Structure 1
Amino acid sequence: MRLLPLLFACLAPLAFAAPKHAITLYDEAPKYPPDFTHFDFVNPDAPKGGRLKLASYGGFDSLNPFIPKGNVESRIGLIYDSLTFQSPDEPFTEYGLLAETIDKAADNSSVTFNLNPKARWHDGEPVTAEDVQFTFEQLLKHGDPMYRHYYADVEKVEILSAKTVRFVFKRNDNRELPMILGQLQILPKHWWASRDFSKTSLEIPLGSGAYRVEKLEAGRSIQYSRVKNWWAKDLPVTRGFNNFDRIDIDYYRDMSVALEAFKGGQFDFNLEYSAKDWATGYASPALNDGRMIKMEIPNHNPVGMQAYIFNLNRPLFKDKRVREAIGLLFDFEWTNKQLFFGAYKRTSSFFENSEMAAHQLPSAAELAILEPLRGQIPDEAFSQVFTLPQTQGDGIIREQKRRAFSLLKEAGYSIQNNQMTGPDGKPLSFEFMLHQTNLERVILPFKRNLSELGIDMQIRRVDVSQFINRMRSRDFDMTSAIWSQSNSPGNEQREFWHSASADNPGSRNLIGLRDPAIDQLVEGLIRADSRQELINQARALDRVLQWGYYVIPNYHTDQWRVAWWNKFGRPKITPLYDIGLMTWWQKSEKAQRAGE
């Protein structure tokens, strides 16, 4: 019997590769070797201290970001550590954080995380394998529905020792799964033992991250303080990060008010979303003399899809011809010219700004993916490139109106008493739900174009809490939504498009898609075993989503538009896939003029 442990120790190398400091999606070598001391895009000697003042929008009523309830504080992730740290200057590479090393089975049937023995919660208790198991189980039981889709291929979690935990998979063709598990933000089992994880709360939670919550005013402000004895402060993946002693966040109900507050010095850094404000809103003496800096930083991430979306649970939108007709009446060129100062590009792909966007005829490899689905997906996906109508930008859209009327006529609609009326005798009427004040000016011209064809669109503005609740319960006709994409899309696509997520409150399948063909394409993307196959699968999925007219694509920019008060130092290099704000440091108490 005493020989068994030795026997198993000898056999173990046959099933598992040596534990590594990093993992990559397709087992390519990571950019940084095991003995690296810091990332290239940080200043490893950045001074610690000072304060960063930020703004957020809407308010918050919960500090539990893991459940599908409440309006969560936007930066609460600062208090948590994950098993791994995703590098923002590589497409998809993760280095150990809570996990000192990662041991992925050679056949991708499991992944083992060996926790850093130094890892501690803010109360001094060690982070253990039981914490990892507890976190995973709580997320599946009470967490956002997203987690059940993310981790659907996990068979079980095994605790091998106090510092070692293994995830065993149901299948071995989900290459992204080990990396998704590495992104788990771990929760302290001993702290949650006396609390209800399924409920929202403003009680300050216990974490293990670089910051802790110092104080808050519900819905209005929150203050984070740097943990001076943070267990991970000297790790290669954290060196040069988290340089501010305090991070203060104030909440604003209106972005226009927030911009004025920024120009008044009420907060330090602003990521601008409004093209109009970016073009005209920052003019000030502070900008002229260099105390305020305004810059566009290239964004190499896929921008995904921002769109006006149809709720397919509404009978009104079941017919694809109706959806296409309504979409024809959104005049992007006029909107971009008149409202956005020409700042945007039209989005037409669900993987926009990436090599995964289907902007060309399908390749032979893509056709091989699509062919088994012929008859279940739009015929256009096989032979046409999806394009959106273009106008002259002068507000005259006669061709689009003619095409829209023709489509509606095919669908059984006709004009009666100046109203577009369906075959059931009911007017074509629906509600557009929004919570952003500044979006209304974009919707109104769209509403006017619809009304000229006898279509009635009512604009319903609600507060943030009501908006979140109605989105979770799918209680809307049309609204605005964004699906962000990564450079390596995977399991989250189930959450976006798969039939299994259509009825889950809080899932990102906001459209209510239930299509076996799309389900098959999603599964194919998740199982891709090379970068080129991932591209082929993503483009195939993209084509079917495009030709389904499930959304009215909006617009995008491939730049981050950022402004800040000139009191910070920045590393010389900005990472490819992030602004890198948490690598900045304070160099002065007040904003300096240019050249000072």
Structure 2
Amino acid sequence: MSPDYLRPLRPAIVGIASILAASLASAESAHGIAMYGDPALPPDFVSLPYANPDAPKGGKVVFGNTGGYNSLNPFVQKGTSPWQLRFWTHESLMGRSWDEPFSLYGLLAESVETDSDRSWVEFTLRDNARFSDGSPVTVDDVIWSYETLGTEGHLRYRGLWGKIESIEQTGPRSVRITFNEPDRELALIAGLRPILQKAQWEGKSFADAQLHDIPIGSGPYVIDDYEAGRYVNLRRNPDYWGADIPYRKGTMNLDDMRIEFYGDGTVAFEAFKAGELSAVREFNADKWNTQYNFPAAQRGDVVKTEIPHQKPSGMTGFAMNTRKAPFDNWRVREALTLAFNFEFINDTITGGAQPRIASYFSGSKLGMKPGPASGRVAELLQPYAAELPPGTLEGYVPPQGDGTERNRRNVRKALKLLEEAGWTVQDGLLRNADGAPFRIDLVISQGSLNVVQDVSVIAEIYARALERLGIQLTVEKVDDAQYTSRIDAQDFDMTPFRRALSLSPGNEQRLYWGSENADTAGTRNVMGLTSPAVDGLIDEMLASESHEDFVAATRALDRVLTAGRYVIPVWSFDVGRIAHIKELKQPETLPIYGDGPEYMPQVWWYQD
């Protein structure tokens, strides 16, 4: 669809026709929308169930990021920005409840309307919605935001644009989006796009924004001070327009939030122990049990809080770049997984306290069942049987070692697979038929310390194991900007990887593993996965009209991803762990998603 066709200015007759069509449509306006069925909260809900509507406002807190940043625009591909900004400074038409698999409630929009097939969706803006500079959020801003993000924004925003047939104003505060393909999730995805201010970017390049070009948002916080690469300070906007809407009641309670940047996780932890940071997330169970006994914790000034959840494990580990040989061979990937010796690494680093990830959706009802595929799952996989990785239909479990450092049995299996793939040991080194040695370039960044904890220790143990196979592992540690550039250009063999997954997987799965963008610079398909089975099963998920079919399609997808051996999995984060100053409080009711970017600090508050 041509961008010119989708521009907001239309002939008057088109606008009149659209308004008439809207009045005749057999749909009713609602306060929320769910992927399946109706949203759980009634139209007169007071607040989200995991927020405290009476939480006090106030307090100053400091959080720590590793690495640095060179951009304050989180909506473009260029540069590295603090990840928190898109959650704290900007808003979308609808907001997600993290106590339901996938339900949205009005935020900038007071209501949402769609047809039974969800071939279109219409949003009506709140009359009082405002940007932080006091200007109103208009339909013009909405349409401009969708087009600009869809054509110039970060890759995460571009997929939706190609599925929009038209976007147009249907009333003073209403906008309708019509889709060009059947996909029930699109109506919800559309509600989650950030809305930017059109006027700010007139005469400027949005994609090439400089550090000082901070996007104006409508969110509760604004950036009031920063020093490139060192800190960003955000303050709660005292004139924030949405303080009293139900979705925001009891959220965004802290007056000032500062993000300090540290060279690595060890330095950040020392800063927390010294009282320079207000909270840290801990992903290592052994460290949680043994290293949080410093004076502030013993005095009770620091509190340890565990937050359970019901969400899938997602995938954490080391991704292999399948765009290049020999990582395009499943036997090689299986051999490298066999050599990883998870049991020994887990015992060394976490004391064996954290279970290994079994599959991408493990730990949830969406995860594949053990053993051979059966029922609807088997039916969905059958058309792709000839091309499926071994273990997909039969059942696949990540290899288990004997717990010893030498891991002899798995090393023997790995050598056999490598020989089948054309690699043999010559003069102590593993070489291919041309005599080229097997070398692996593991690229990590300062930020990777929050992706795979203790990555340097893991890499050291793994390198020793690979030496027994005649493989040389080289670790390249680069700064965040270099890392982003390397991964975007697909210039790596292996890299730490973390992909969180939800209870309502949908179109984002195409971004994560779809063939279409596998070779696109900056793709989120880090491993370069290309598979007709994966593409087809994602289509099945999106076309599902019943929850049962949706679960079956997701379990089938889980099998293909897991048996593909694209990532060497490490341990799962079966519970959230946050250590924080005693003044930070949280509601008693927890969302089913547990901790996440929109839980801490969004629903916490400061109280002396």
Q: Give the TM-score range, shorter chain.
A: over 0.9
* Structure 2 residue 249 is the aligned partner of structure 1 residue 246: no
Structure 1 570/547 Cα, relative in aligned 2: closer, same or farther at 3 Å?
A: closer
* Structure 2 residue 243 is the aligned partner of structure 1 residue 233: yes
Alignment partner of 1:193 out of 192, 202, 210: 202
Q: CA RMSD in A?
A: 1.9
The one-letter code sitting in structure 2 at the alignment partner of 1:585 is W
Alpha carbons 2:583, 2:607 under 8 Å: kept: yes
Identify the residue that residue 482 of structure 1 maps to in structure 2: 498
Give the Cα–Cα distance (whole angstroms) in 1 for the partners of residues 495 and 415 of structure 2: 23
Alignment partner of 2:112 out of 98, 102, 105: 102
Shift in Å, 1:394: 2.2
User: Cα deviations across residues 398-431 of structure 1 (Å, max 9, x unaligned)?
Assistant: 1101111111111222211111111222111121
Shift in Å, 1:11: 6.7
The one-letter code sitting in structure 1 at the alignment partner of 2:378 is L
Shift in Å, 1:10: 8.1
Alpha carbons 2:368, 2:555 under 8 Å: kept: yes
Alpha carbons 2:147, 2:161 under 8 Å: kept: no
Alignment partner of 1:530 out of 537, 546, 558: 546
Structure 1 60/16 Cα, relative in aligned 2: closer, same or farther at 3 Å?
A: farther
* Structure 2 residue 393 is the aligned partner of structure 1 residue 377: no
* Structure 2 residue 83 is the aligned partner of structure 1 residue 69: no
The one-letter code sitting in structure 2 at the alignment partner of 1:373 is Y
Structure 1 389/32 Cα, relative in aligned 2: closer, same or farther at 3 Å?
A: same
Single out whichever of 7-16 and 342-351 deviates more from structure 2: 7-16
Q: 1:561 aligns to what SS in structure 2?
A: strand
User: Cα deviations across residues 100-137 of structure 1 (Å, max 9, x unaligned)?
Assistant: 00001222110001000110112221101111111111
Alignment partner of 1:402 out of 403, 406, 412: 412
Identify the residue that residue 59 of structure 2 maps to in structure 1: 50
The one-letter code sitting in structure 1 at the alignment partner of 2:545 is D
Shift in Å, 1:225: 1.0
Alignment partner of 1:337 out of 347, 370, 374: 347
Alignment partner of 1:319 out of 319, 323, 329: 329
Structure 1 273/194 Cα, relative in aligned 2: closer, same or farther at 3 Å?
A: farther
Alpha carbons 1:15, 1:106 under 8 Å: kept: no
Report the number of matched residues: 582
Structure 1 192/6 Cα, relative in aligned 2: closer, same or farther at 3 Å?
A: closer
Alpha carbons 2:22, 2:170 under 8 Å: kept: no
* Structure 2 residue 596 is the aligned partner of structure 1 residue 587: no
Alpha carbons 1:151, 1:177 under 8 Å: kept: no
Shift in Å, 1:206: 1.3
Shift in Å, 1:516: 2.3
Structure 1 371/250 Cα, relative in aligned 2: closer, same or farther at 3 Å?
A: same
Alpha carbons 1:113, 1:165 under 8 Å: kept: yes
Structure 1 7/53 Cα, relative in aligned 2: closer, same or farther at 3 Å?
A: closer
Identify the residue that residue 572 of structure 2 maps to in structure 1: 556
Alignment partner of 1:113 out of 117, 123, 131: 123
Shift in Å, 1:13: 5.9
The one-letter code sitting in structure 2 at the alignment partner of 1:443 is A
1:317-466 aligned at under 5 Å gives the runs 317-360=327-370, 361-378=372-389, 380-382=391-393, 384-436=394-446, 438-466=454-482
Structure 1 16/227 Cα, relative in aligned 2: closer, same or farther at 3 Å?
A: farther
Q: 1:262 aligns to what SS in structure 2?
A: helix
Shift in Å, 1:546: 1.8
Shift in Å, 1:8: 8.6
Q: 1:111 aligns to what SS in structure 2?
A: strand
Identify the residue that residue 3 of structure 2 maps to in structure 1: none
The one-letter code sitting in structure 2 at the alignment partner of 1:366 is V
Alignment partner of 2:289 out of 249, 272, 279: 279
Alpha carbons 2:222, 2:237 under 8 Å: kept: yes
Deviating 4+ runs (over 6 angstroms): 4-11
User: Cα deviations across residues 56-103 of structure 1 (Å, max 9, x unaligned)?
Assistant: 121111011111111112221211111111001111110000010000
Shift in Å, 1:505: 1.3
The one-letter code sitting in structure 2 at the alignment partner of 1:265 is G
Q: 1:54 aligns to what SS in structure 2?
A: strand
Identify the residue that residue 571 of structure 1 maps to in structure 2: 587
Single out whichever of 148-157 and 29-38 deviates more from structure 2: 148-157
Identify the residue that residue 225 of structure 2 maps to in structure 1: 215
Give the Cα–Cα distance (whole angstroms) in 2 for the partners of residues 233 and 418 of structure 1: 67
Shift in Å, 1:12: 4.5
Normalised TM-score (structure 1): 0.94
Q: 2:300 aligns to what SS in structure 1?
A: coil
The one-letter code sitting in structure 1 at the alignment partner of 2:546 is S
Identify the residue that residue 523 of structure 2 maps to in structure 1: 507
Single out whichever of 9-18 and 149-158 deviates more from structure 2: 9-18
Give the Cα–Cα distance (whole angstroms) in 1 for the partners of residues 404 and 189 of structure 2: 47
Give the Cα–Cα distance (whole angstroms) in 1 for the partners of residues 260 and 138 of structure 2: 35
The one-letter code sitting in structure 2 at the alignment partner of 1:527 is A
Structure 1 80/8 Cα, relative in aligned 2: closer, same or farther at 3 Å?
A: closer
Specify every segment of 5 or more residues in structure 2 that has no aligned partner in the other structure, as ranges.
1-13
Alpha carbons 1:434, 1:461 under 8 Å: kept: yes
Alpha carbons 1:433, 1:462 under 8 Å: kept: yes
Q: 1:133 aligns to what SS in structure 2?
A: helix
The one-letter code sitting in structure 2 at the alignment partner of 1:224 is L
* Structure 2 residue 48 is the aligned partner of structure 1 residue 39: yes
Shift in Å, 1:390: 1.6
* Structure 2 residue 211 is the aligned partner of structure 1 residue 202: yes
* Structure 2 residue 265 is the aligned partner of structure 1 residue 255: yes
Q: 1:156 aligns to what SS in structure 2?
A: strand
The one-letter code sitting in structure 2 at the alignment partner of 1:55 is G
Shift in Å, 1:205: 2.6
Give the Cα–Cα distance (whole angstroms) in 2 for the partners of residues 353 and 322 of structure 1: 28
Q: 1:39 aligns to what SS in structure 2?
A: coil
Identify the residue that residue 128 of structure 1 maps to in structure 2: 138
The one-letter code sitting in structure 1 at the alignment partner of 2:42 is P
The one-letter code sitting in structure 2 at the alignment partner of 1:584 is W
* Structure 2 residue 560 is the aligned partner of structure 1 residue 544: yes
Q: 1:166 aligns to what SS in structure 2?
A: strand
User: Cα deviations across residues 9-35 of structure 1 (Å, max 9, x unaligned)?
Assistant: 887565341110000001x22221111
Alpha carbons 1:16, 1:103 under 8 Å: kept: no
* Structure 2 residue 258 is the aligned partner of structure 1 residue 269: no
Give the Cα–Cα distance (whole angstroms) in 1 for the partners of residues 567 and 525 of structure 2: 12
Single out whichever of 278-287 and 539-548 deviates more from structure 2: 278-287
Identity of aligned residues (%): 37
Give the Cα–Cα distance (whole angstroms) in 2 for the partners of residues 103 and 355 of structure 1: 30
Q: 1:457 aligns to what SS in structure 2?
A: strand
Alignment partner of 1:59 out of 54, 68, 79: 68
Identify the residue that residue 591 of structure 1 maps to in structure 2: none
Shift in Å, 1:5: 11
Q: 2:502 aligns to what SS in structure 1?
A: coil
Normalised TM-score (structure 2): 0.92
The one-letter code sitting in structure 1 at the alignment partner of 2:305 is M
Give the Cα–Cα distance (whole angstroms) in 2 for the partners of residues 358 and 576 of structure 1: 20
Shift in Å, 1:283: 1.2
Alpha carbons 2:117, 2:184 under 8 Å: kept: no
Q: 1:381 aligns to what SS in structure 2?
A: coil
Single out whichever of 527-536 and 144-153 deviates more from structure 2: 144-153
